[in-house]
Amino acid sequence: MEATKLRRVDFVFRPDNTSIDVLRKTLKRDADDIILELIDSGLKGRGGAGFLTGLKWKLAKEAAGDIKYVICNADEGEPGTFKDREILDRVPRRVLTGMAICAHTIGAKEGFIYLRAEYKFLAHKLKAVMAEMNEEFKKLGLDFSVSLRYGSGAYVCGEETALIDSMEGRRGEPRNKPPFPVTAGYLNKPTVVNNVETFVNCCIIANIGADEYKKFGTDNSRGFKLFSVSGDCSKEGVFELELGMTLADFVEEFGDGDTKAVQVGGASGFCVPRKKFKDTIIGFEGIPTGGSMKIFNSTRSMYNVLHNYLEFFEEESCGQCTPCRVGCQQLIKGIEAVKRKEKPAGYLDELVKLAKVMKVASKCGLGQSVGNAFVSIVENFREEIVY
């Protein structure tokens, strides 16, 4: 697979004076046509899991039932990710337009933005834009309105079924799947849950067309993506880049010249050491990311990095399933014990085995991805964990 060259693009944050026109033109189109174009574009969910967005909409459209819902997942909780906040602050109309296109496509009349509790400061402005856009929808003859719901601070509620549970007023815990939300989601009705950035991409594709969109990225990772860059970097913030570059190129552009490792995809992602930068493509053929890129230089202790992630997971696991709840505790207590020489270095191998069990046996994506950071850090920086 050929990597692309690092290229900065400007689609998402371009001044937004076209959304209503895009919507007007798209509402005239047939739902199946929109879905075909979306599938053709190759857009995958921008929250991190990477499910084909067009397929998700197709399943929701085909699901039986008159009442359907569109939910925008703005529970941006992955450590090191802050691009959705930027989107909601700067171009909220694009998000709402994407949601409206989805509503038109699947036949939904109600939509929600599930906003991370810590982002309440955005609510005032968002509500005003929502009121304005709801009016616009009416004017365009689209029977659809969007309202706001708040999270309560749990990371796991970014998982779509936990998010739905939370919206229904229950404790946010991931559900058993199947059924998936596209057939039985909010209030057991067919529901599309997409990330903020995904809806913006839908809006952009409706505007420029799949052919134009496909010119960006690689076969498996079409388009462009927002990256939240933080850590030991030469420039930090949100950057929009074409997908498919190598990590080496990325570090060249954003590193501080002393980069030891990059955590791609946040706490639930993978830690890549310097020696693998060249061979690592950022995208679905290599390491996908929901946007979080944390750069560590040689002053950082990878033990501390790992410990910090495990502390996070130990607290943010919903606690319902055994591998995740107990596994997280064992991983953190385990590396502490190795560090204190209470357990031999070989105990790390037991913990890697445990992490691999968590990956296949946990109920949801949270528990399944704890092992990513753990295994990649322990395997690449074993010495730092032990000594």
Partner 1 sequence: MEKMINLTINNLPVTVEEGTTILQAARQLNIRIPTLCNHEDLCVAGNCRVCVVEQVGMRTLQASCATPVRENMQILTNSMQVRQARKTIIELLLSEHNADCTKCYKNGKCELQDLANEYRTGNQVYIDLVPLKHYTIDQSSPSILKDDSKCIRCQRCVRTCAELQAVSALSAAYKGSEMKISSFYERPMHEVVCTNCGQCINRCPTGALIEKNYIDEVWDAIYNPTKHVVVQTAPAVRVALGEELGFEPGARVTGKLVAALRRLGFDSVLDTDFTADLTIMEEGTELLTRLKKVLVDGDKNTALPMFTSCSPGWIKFIEHTFPELLPNLSTCKSPQQMFGALAKTWYAQKKGINPKDMVSVSIMPCTAKKFEATRPEMRDSGYQDVDYVLTTRELAIMIKQAGIEFMKLEDEDYDSFMGESTGAAVIFGATGGVMEAALRTAYEIVTGREVPFTNLNITPVRGMEGVREATIKVENVKPEWSFLEGAEVKVAVAHGLANAKQLMTAIRDGKAQYHFVEIMACPGGCLGGGGQPIPTSPAIRQKRAEAIYAEDEGLPIRKSHENPEIVQIYREFLSEPLGHRSHELLHTHYKPRKRY
Binding site for partner 1 (CB under 8 A): 154, 156, 171, 173, 176, 178, 313-323, 325-330, 333-334, 337, 343, 350, 353-354, 357, 359-363, 368
The nearest distance, CB 321 to partner 1, in angstroms, is 5
Residue 18 or 320: which CB sits closer to partner 1? 320
Amino acid identity of 225? K
Task: List residues bridging with 262 in a β-sheet.
Answer: 272, 295
Q: How far apart are CA 81 and CA 295, in angstroms?
A: 13
Environment class of residue 252 by beta-carbon count within 10 Å: exposed (0-12), middle (13-18) or buried (19+)?
middle
Closest distance to partner 1 from the beta carbon of 155 (Å)? 9
Task: Report in angstroms how near the CB of residue 162 gets to partner 1 at its nearest.
Answer: 11
Q: State the minimum distance, in angstroms, from the CB of residue 359 to partner 1.
A: 8
Q: Which residues, in sequence order, are bridge partners of residue 237?
A: 229
Neighbouring C-alpha atoms within 13 Å toward the C-beta of 96: 28
Which CB atom, from 292 or from 362, has the smaller least distance to partner 1? 362
Nearer to partner 1, 123 or 337 (CB): 337
Strand order through the sheet with 292-297:
237-242, 224-231, 292-297, 259-264, 270-273
* Nearest distance, CB of residue 255 and partner 1, angstroms: 32
- DSSP readout, 162-216? HHHHHHTTS---PPPSSSPTTTS-GGGS-EEEEEHHHHHHHHHHHHH-HHHHHTS
Q: DSSP characters for 92-119? A: HHHHHHHHHHHHHHHT-SEEEEEE-GGG
Residue placing its CB nearer to partner 1 in the complex, 176 or 299: 176
The least CB distance from residue 18 to partner 1, in Å, is: 40
- For partner 1, which is the closer residue by CB, 171 or 214? 171
Q: 252 vs 336, which CB is nearer to partner 1?
A: 336
